[in-house]
Structure 1
Amino acid sequence: MKKGFLAPALGIAALVLVGAGAFAYNGLDKETKGALAHLPTNRDVLFWSIPQRDAAFRAMDRLEFLAKSHVVEAGPKASDLPVGTPLAIPNIDAYMQGQRSSGIVILQDGKVRFEKYGLGFDAAGRWTSFSVAKSYTSTLVGAAIQDGYIKSLSDKVSTYIPGLKGSAYDDVTVEQLLTMSSGVSWNEDYEDPNSDVAKFNNAKADAGLDATTSYMRKLPRAHAPGTFWNYNTGETNLVGILVSSATKKPLATYLSEKLWKPFGMEQQATWILNSTGQEIAGCCLQMATRDYARMGLFVLAGGKIGDTQVVPADWFAKATTKKMYYGEPGRGYGYQWWTYDDGSVAAQGIFGQGIFIDPKRKLVIASNANWTRATDGPEGAARDVFYKQVQDLIDAEAAAKAPVAATKSAN
């Protein structure tokens, strides 16, 4: 099992299923209600059936038996996504069927080249992000640095999260937390009942501490900080606590202020909370597929909205550069972003959520799905092939236009 993508976060454990009688139908459409007619009683989304996931992934913030959420408010007007020349993608229907895709939006040079939905989902709905949220949380660190709330990535984490003082995180920097290289022991195997994720599910928060801080402060050190990469969703949750502590604002509020409103996101988003009321920073943002795509445009713009630099001018250049190698040739990990050696970068979540960004081609591919398995099925490899297919189509278009442009110039 690839732990690199298996990150519904510590907080997914807080999405406790307490029985079919505890389900709230508020605002759900007929299809969603029907798909959830037989709710499971287990505690983990990974054990839901495919039909249950089909329904729940579009309604996580409306299932009151799961968890509460904070609203990420949108502004009065959405930013334009002009329609470009349609991109003809061979065998796209078969690809979407194989992915169990609920939505794909492809932007190129700021224009919509392709948009299509499946599983009864559409542009008006919100689909849960899983670990795609990690890249948004990382971006809020950049915003907090730009705003002066966080002084430096070299600062010790415990400076901003006092509850970690005296723990293995005493010598860990903000940057090491962002790159998941703290060296603190952590087991994210969701099939191991003795893993940290499984034990956290039932852990009771210490008095006065957030649930994540309470658990993470008790973990032992396994490696020297900065020397070893280990995927750790708990640490992304700590990043979220760090940002909230530094800014004195809930993550949802800060995300709305820095990105959702000024960039013109189309719909409000929601961010699910853990058992002590903190946004689950490593997971669980619900948003429209078009707004997934707008995040890609924000990255391509270098984190600038109009004349306002929301993050430091060099933030995304650093955040999307390989900092750690995790064993897959041509790939790496930056500040909560997955990197490709060709300069592309991706935000990725289990079951097929993703934002692929290719600066060279000014290309963004936002996709949501409900894969047959969280990470270990064939869909992940097929998606990488799809990314390359779209890149090749863009290149072929550019090559076809080049002789025409040359001829006009000669004349």
Structure 2
Amino acid sequence: MDETSPDWRPDPMKPGTPIIPQAEWYLPPYNRWTFQHVSEMTPTTPIWRGSGPVLPLPERITDIDGIEFELAGRRSTIREFLDSSFTDGLLIVSRGEVIAETYMNGLKPHRHHLAMSMSKSIVGAVCGILVHRGLIDPRSLVTEYLPELETTAYRGATVQQVLDMTTGVTITKPYTEPGTHAYMLFQAAGWRPLDYPEHPQTTWQLILMLTEQQRPHGALFEYRSAESNVLGFIMQRVTGMPLADLISTELWAPMGAEHNAYVTVDPGGFPSADAGFNATLRDYARFALLYLRSGRLHGKQIVPSAWIEETRRGNHDLLQREDRLDLPRGAYHNQFWIEDPERRAFICAGHGGQRIYIDPETDFAAVKLSSWPDAGLDRYVETLAAIRAIRDACAVR
């Protein structure tokens, strides 16, 4: 692919570079640069790594470029896949060791990259910690924690249904169409200008306007980012802590992150629990390793092992084939995708090509950061096929 710098990308030698449109910074083609520079595009708040030691990542670098996989009758190598799939970074962990680490498109080991919806899984992990402590009961009604939502369609929904995105709340899409809830969420989160003054100005205001219900709660899975923010508000309410501080205290510092992370915030200061997380490639890998080790790192249990094991069970009956054609036997549970009922690998998935694949059965994890120019189904399928090929090759070595 062409890696030449386009006219809109900031260039220290050309101070007259055109400005990236504020309403489109997270969209292609700008995402090739902005996914690594989110703090320069919208307000953020830090997630402190703490003062403790960094979790070491032992290395056993192996050449994986020549590994082949087949898709739709066409054979490709991992090198060809990386070169053609708008890769920013790839890191592979096998049996506790980093066996491959690749940086492309200007990404550096110290540079943050937007997680997009992988953020949901990070928030879900912290929620599991609070559940274990008895601060949140997934069987309880959302309104027990957020009584303000009695006036919304979340009345009667449980926390577990929010975790699994099986509430019956009507949340309209797509995010590119003005007037839909998904579009208004991007505005409310501070990701794009409030070009319609009558729209909600904060994420909380958006949640309060979700007053219509399209089906009984718990009847069907439907992927909706607003649900993750409801979860974030519950977590803040039961702890009295800002979500960013909560992630730092309960997850990021205990697991031994190397760098501070950060998250985008809306005009009211609420972090984007569904898409705003930013971290380095290696720290995403540490998060994956935490789940490979049943939630235990640095000699301490961070995420409860029972929560992790229960997450792997999933509810495969509620995931409709049209929701994820690349995971026809998959599930969604506790803010993670689950690959299938047998292997039960975890998948953190984010728009634009962000993937963390965690397979405890082979002690394998892959982190793929990207900036796709589109989100066609073929890209999802290809990414999963490539990761599985690496996993299978590692399993026999």
Counterpart amino acid of residue 218 in structure 2: G
User: Which shifted more, 328-337 or 37-46?
Assistant: 37-46
| Worse-superposed segment, 352-361 or 209-218 | 209-218
Instruction: Decide which of 317, 326, 348 is 2:320's aligned counterpart.
Output: 326
CA distance in 1, matches of 2:164, 2:46: 26
Q: 2:203 aligns with which of 192, 202, 212?
A: 212
| Residue of 38, 61, 82 corresponding to 2:58 | 82
Contact 2:54 2:257 in 1 (8 A): yes
- For residue 262 of structure 1, give the secondary structure of its aligned residue in structure 2: coil
Look up the SS of the partner of 1:378 in the other structure.
helix
Partner of 2:38: 60
| Separation in structure 1 between the aligned mates of residue 219 and residue 98 of structure 2, nearest angstrom | 42
CA deviation profile, 1:243-293 (whole Å, cap 9, x unmatched)? 111111111111111121121111110011012110110011110001111
Q: What is the deviation of 1:49? A: 4.1
The secondary structure found in structure 2 opposite 1:385 is helix
User: Which is worse superposed, 376-385 or 327-336?
Assistant: 376-385
Secondary structure of 2:148's counterpart equals: helix
Residue deviations 1:340-379 (CA, integer Å, cap 9, x gap):
1122111010111111001111001011011111x22632
Structure 1 position 369 matched with structure 2 position 360: no
- Report Cα offsets for 1:49-71 as digits up to 9, x if no partner: 42x222211111233xx223233
Q: Which residue number in structure 2 is paired with residue 38 of structure 1?
A: 18
**1:183–1:294: structure 2 CA closer, same or farther, 3 Å change rule?**
same
From the superposition, tell whether residues 303 and 185 of structure 1 become closer, same or farther in structure 2 (CA, over 3 Å): same
User: 2:51, 2:253 within 8 Å by CA — same for their partners in 1?
Assistant: yes
After superposition, the C-alpha distances for 1:312-344 in whole angstroms (9 at most, x for unaligned) are 331011223322313131222111111111221
CA contact (8 A) 1:75 1:265 kept: no
1:137-161 CA-partner distances (Å, limit 9, x unpaired): 11111111223322x1001111222
Shift of 1:31: 5.3
Q: Which moved more, 1:376-385 or 1:363-372?
A: 376-385
Kindly state the Cα deviation for residue 210 of structure 1 after the two structures are TM-superposed: 8.8
Q: Helix, strand or coil: the match of 2:305?
A: coil
* TM-score after normalising by structure 2: 0.84
- Asked whether the 8 Å contact 1:106–1:114 carries over to 2, the reply is yes
**Matched residue, 2:359:** 358
2:309 pairs with 1:317: yes
Aligned partners of 2:202 and 2:164: how far apart in 1? 22
* Rounded Cα–Cα distance in structure 2 between residues aligned with 1:336 and 1:277: 23
Q: 2:142 aligns with which of 157, 172, 178?
A: 157
Q: 2:386 maps to what in 1?
A: 386
Would you say the 8 A contact 1:60–1:128 is kept in 2? yes
Q: What percentage of aligned pairs have identical amino acids?
A: 22
| Partners of 1:230 and 1:36 in 2: CA distance | 45
The one-letter code of the counterpart of 2:338 is T
Query: For the structure 1 residues 295 and 32, does the alpha-carbon distance in structure 2 shift closer, same or farther, using more than 3 Å as the test?
Result: farther
| Paired letter, 1:95 | F
For structure 1, which segment, 71-80 or 351-360, has the greater mean C-alpha deviation from structure 2 after superposition? Answer: 71-80
Correspondence 1:120 to 2:100? no
SS in 1 for 2:313: coil
Task: Pick the aligned partner of 1:242 from 229, 234, 237.
Answer: 234
Structure 1 distance, partners of 2:61, 2:256, is: 23
Q: Distance in 2 between matches of 1:92 and 1:165?
A: 51
- Mean Cα displacement is larger for which, 192-201 or 140-149? 192-201
Aligned residues: 362
Displacement of 1:111: 0.3
C-alpha displacement of 1:42: 5.2
- Whether 1:180 and 2:181 are equivalent positions in the alignment is no
Q: Are the aligned partners of 1:74 and 1:266 in contact in 2 as well (CA < 8 Å)?
A: no
2:126 counterpart residue number: 140
Amino acid of the residue matched to residue 300 of structure 1?
Answer: L
1:165 & 1:286 partners in 2: Cα distance? 33
Contact 2:143 2:149 in 1 (8 A): yes
- 1:145 and 1:291 map into 2 onto residues whose CA distance is 24
* Counterpart position of 1:272: 264
Distance 1:188 1:289 in 2: 30
Mapped to 1, the partners of 2:334 and 2:182 lie a distance apart of: 22
Displaced runs of 4 or more, over 4 A: 29-36, 202-206
Structure 1 residue 85: Cα displacement: 4.9
| 1:260 and 2:260 correspond | no
RMSD (CA atoms)? 2.5
Mapped partners of 2:118, 2:333: distance in 1: 14
